[in-house]
Structure formats: C-alpha cells, structure tokens
Structure 1
Amino acid sequence: MGKRETAMGGLLTNAGYRITDKPPNASTANMGGHARAEALGLYQRLQGIRELERISSGTWDVAVQGNLLIEVDEENHFNRHRAATLDGTDYPWTADYLRYCAEYESRCRTNGGFWTSTSSECMFGPASPRGDHTGVGAPRWRQRALYDAVRDVWAQGNPGWSLARLSIYDVVDGVSFNDVLKGRQQIAPDRLRELIEARTLG
C-alpha cells in the first residue's frame, strides 16, 4: 500500500481508531475445514493449474483496536478475476466491488509485474501477451484476486476478527475516496466511520 496505507492510518486516527498489530497473513493453514475447502475451490475457479495444499495471502493493510482489519483496494484489484471470486457472495462490499470490476478493469496495470510474475505463472500458467485476455491472460491478476478472496474467506470463518474493505472508487458525500487518500479532498471523520461500518464483515 505504501503512501495510501500511511494516509489511511492518519484518517483512521483522526476518526478515533487506534492502530494495532496485524494478525498473521490469511492462510488456508489457519482456516477451518469448510473455509479451507472454499479457498481451494476459488483457486480452481480461477483455473489454477497445480494441486495446492496451502494458499497464503500477503500482509493485511491495517488493523485497528477491536480486532478490525481494514483493506484499502486500489485500481489493480478490480477486474474479471476478482469478479469471479465475488460471484455468489453477499459480503458488505460485494455489490459495489462487482460494479467496480465491470467499470474499471481498463485501469488495471498491464506492465511488468502487474501482468505476470514467476510465482503467479507457477499457479496459473504462462501469461498471454500483455493486454491479451485470451487463454491465461494475466496470471498476476488472477493471483491478486485469489489472495483477496482468501482474505475474505479467512475473515468470514474467523469470529475473532472482522474485515472491512474500502476502495479508491468509493464516493463519500460526493467526494472520491481516492482524492481523500491523496490529500486533495477531505471527508468528515464520522462519515469515514459510517463507510467502514457499512463495509464490515463480522
């Protein structure tokens, strides 16, 4: 997250949240049996090519007091593969995120490691030419969608933690949340809390 994570920390502090230590990464190794099967099933839905015994996401964006995890999703998180992982779900962010995936896929980056990587090709196969979505398309897009979905499943199956997802495409009181993160606009702290509460699972 970098600059956005730093900006989000400041916004949360201003809204009365207390930043705390993050839990371990979401992983099928620390899920119950049903959640683990669901996560591995999502890998198959994304046309994974290996028999995986374990899937682990990256680190969480922010954790705040009360065991609430907050993820801030930027432009590279919204595309056809993320939509595939959300299909049939009823998370607090599902409807908005499916719309963002449909409307903003063209903003996902296709250069370098945003399109493919060694680890993502091991999971999904060799990449198609840059920008070509026939065949495998972008293995890294698929991998990122999988890791986001693993976080969702982990949070849904772990009653000790709650998860809220915010997007740069969210609009609060007519203001782009991306502009808020970049310091170009402001929103009232209570409106940020309302958005977080509306998007919290668990």
Structure 2
Amino acid sequence: MALNFFFNYPGMHQLIVSRILESLEASEVAYTSDVNLPVHRSLLNGKGEELLSAAYRELEGKDDYPLLHHLKVPVQVGKHLLVYDDANHFNRYRLVTLKSALYRVFNYPWHAAYLRMCRTHERECLLSGLQERVWSGPPLARSCFGPADVPGELSGTGAPGWKLNAYNDLQYDLISRLEGYRLHRIPAYENLMIGGRLQRIDKLLLRPDDSVMRAIGAWLLRKMG
C-alpha cells in the first residue's frame, strides 16, 4: 500500500517552523524549505521492509503496511533534515514505534530523549490531539488501524490518527537514513540554556527576539555538527 501523507498541523506549528527558518537566517545558514524528497522503494528491499512491517504490526495495523511516496521536510541544510515535533508526536503509539527494532539497527542521538518524552508528555498530547482530524486522522488511518474510539479513550482501538502519525514518524526515521540523510528531530520539549536559564524551545521560538534567534541558530548548527 502506498501513500503520500504526513500530518501537517496549521497555525502554531507553521509559525514555529517559520521561526526555525528565521533562526537559520540569523546565523547565515543556507537552507531549502518545503522539500519533497522522493522515496526509492528499492532501498527498503529486505531488512527495511521487515522493519516497517514489524512496527506496523505492533500498532495493530491491518493488511499490507503503507509506504510514503515522498518525505515532506520543512527544512533541509545540505544532507541534514530538520523536523519540528509538536505535542501530537508524544504518546503511547509513538513509544511503541520507538521501541521497534529499527532503533537497535540504527543510532539516533535523540532516541532516548524521545522515549522519555513519550512517557511523560502524553497528557499534553491528549489536550492537543482530540480534534477529529488528529484523533481519527484521514480515511487511510481508519483503513489501516480500524475505527476510532471516543476521543480521549485509549483503552480500546484508540486513535487511528495518532497511530498513523507514529508510524509515519518511524518511516521518516528509516527512509531518511536509507536515502543518506541525517534527520534531526526538534521536540517541543527540548530545553535550551538562554539568558542563564533553561527554556523550552517551543516557547523560545515564539519570541521575536534577534538574540534568541541567533542563539537558536547556533544551537541548530551544533546539532548538525
């Protein structure tokens, strides 16, 4: 099953992404925005297919596992891809995919932090992710994972939209690596030392302050090595 879908949260999410771009500009970093990277299915033959299929089954997916046609990436800096993850990316389903074999085959510097954030921030996901378009997701989500429970009810079939989002995150992690890119995830809950105190990146990115933008740009450069 093939697909070309990835959740795109409007409003606040897009504002924060635009501020990430501003921070790169403040540090005079050349970048490309709104990039569509084609997925070469042949790279997944064998082990890649096995990793995707296993993770999909762990989420109780039905029929064949879906596959993205493209990776839609908000920011590319050379071979580095930057993706911002808001509250809707931290829940029990993403935790399931983060525990999959993929993360034992490949090393991702942010992996341990994401495990912790998924365990500790699901409450915030429940506050932000109950809208129909997020909880139930598109028709594909229900086709893959069955009908949605009542919003907020996670004891039964739960949220097919959340499950598809978690599965797509795993696809990005695997496919970007196979395509030769380094994917850097920027979680809303990342803390930076700015002005002598730790502050959350999502809050900092909403402050139109030149010095803060330069500090964030420098931090992103360090992440990219």
Superposition deviation, residue 57 in structure 1 = 6.2
Q: Which residue of 1 aligns with 2:56?
A: 43
Q: Could you list the per-position Cα deviations for residues 94-133 of structure 1 after superposition, in whole angstroms to 9, with x for gaps in the alignment?
A: 1111111111111112121110032210110001111111
Q: Which residue of 2 aligns with 1:169?
A: 189
Q: Which residue of 1 aligns with 2:142?
A: 121
| Of 105, 113, 119, the match for 1:102 | 119
Amino acid at match of 1:97: Y
Name the one with the larger strand percent.
2
| Of 73, 77, 82, the match for 2:94 | 82
Is the Cα–Cα contact under 8 Å of residues 71 and 172 in structure 2 kept in the other structure? no
| Of 151, 168, 174, the match for 1:130 | 151
Q: 1:86 to 1:52 in 2, by over 3 A?
A: closer
Superposition deviation, residue 93 in structure 1 = 0.9
CA–CA separation in structure 2 for the residues paired with 1:136 and 1:28: 32
Q: 1:98 to 1:139 in 2, by over 3 A?
A: same
Amino acid at match of 1:162: R
Gaps of 5+ in 2: 1-12
Is the Cα–Cα contact under 8 Å of residues 15 and 192 in structure 1 kept in the other structure? no
Is the Cα–Cα contact under 8 Å of residues 58 and 147 in structure 1 kept in the other structure? no
Identity %: 25
Q: 1:105 to 1:184 in 2, by over 3 A?
A: farther
